């Protein structure tokens, strides 16, 4: 590995230490980090981010379905967390914590089971939680995530086995939110979504 590649790898590894929720793919000596900042940096210096095909779902395209204009979704505040009502795959209703520091949406193994998502053949990954703990998970796709009138198909997600500490909740991460121009109003407890052009 030449000096430039080593520096990129060190930078990417350091980046994941500072994110609130980061998914890692361990493949021998190379560590690929699922982080918007890390991939942006890798592209800037002319390197191709490794593992991109696996991280982007092996060619599965994310599709957004929402009318033009802004859509306001009410949030529930519990402690310091903001929860949103979500409908997954048109059959499982759950509350997800809105987490802009999380690269992927996260769900519990119980929710995955309710959705019929089989994790036994899913790719194993490590996730760093906001408190610094590393927990194992499985990389999956949720066919449809609906928040109010906004729907996103083929959302990248991580199934965590007991690592979230909440059996019935998960995290709504950037794999959903990054499909929109969005704003979180903590005073009004609202999530404002606008479809990207």
CA distance 37 to 34: 9
Judgement on whether residues 28 and 71 belong to the same structural domain of the protein? no
Residue, of 66 and 30, whose pLDDT is higher: 66
Judgement on whether residues 37 and 83 belong to the same structural domain of the protein? no
Total structural domains in the chain? 2
Contact between 66 and 195 (Cβ < 8 Å): yes
Judgement on whether residues 14 and 67 belong to the same structural domain of the protein? no
Judgement on whether residues 20 and 77 belong to the same structural domain of the protein? no
Judgement on whether residues 90 and 130 belong to the same structural domain of the protein? yes
The residue segments making up the domain with residue 80 are: 63-195
Residue 144 has which token pair? 């449809």
CATH number of the structural domain spanning residue 125: 2.40.70.10
Q: What is the pLDDT of residues 76-97, one digit of tens each?
A: 999 989 999 999 999 999 999 9
Read off the pTM: 0.67
């Amino acid at each position: 590995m030449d000096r430039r590649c080593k520096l990129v790898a060190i930078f990417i590894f350091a980046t994941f230490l500072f994110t609130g929720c980061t998914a890692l793919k361990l493949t021998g000596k190379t560590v690929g980090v699922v982080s918007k900042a890390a991939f942006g940096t890798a592209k800037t210096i002319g390197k191709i981010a490794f593992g991109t095909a696996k991280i982007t779902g092996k060619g599965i395209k994310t599709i957004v379905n929402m009318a033009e204009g802004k859509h306001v979704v009410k949030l529930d505040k519990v402690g310091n967390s903001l929860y949103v009502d979500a409908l997954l795959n048109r059959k499982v209703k759950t509350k997800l914590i809105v987490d802009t520091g999380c690269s992927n949406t996260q769900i519990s193994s119980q929710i995955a089971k309710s959705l019929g998502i089989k994790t036994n053949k899913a790719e194993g990954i490590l996730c760093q939680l906001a408190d610094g703990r590393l927990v194992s998970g499985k990389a999956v796709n949720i066919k449809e995530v609906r928040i109010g009138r906004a729907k996103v198909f083929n959302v990248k997600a991580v199934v965590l086995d007991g690592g979230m500490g909440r059996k019935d909740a998960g995290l709504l991460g950037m794999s959903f939110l990054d499909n929109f121009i969005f704003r979180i109003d903590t005073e009004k407890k609202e999530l404002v979504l606008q479809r990207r052009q």
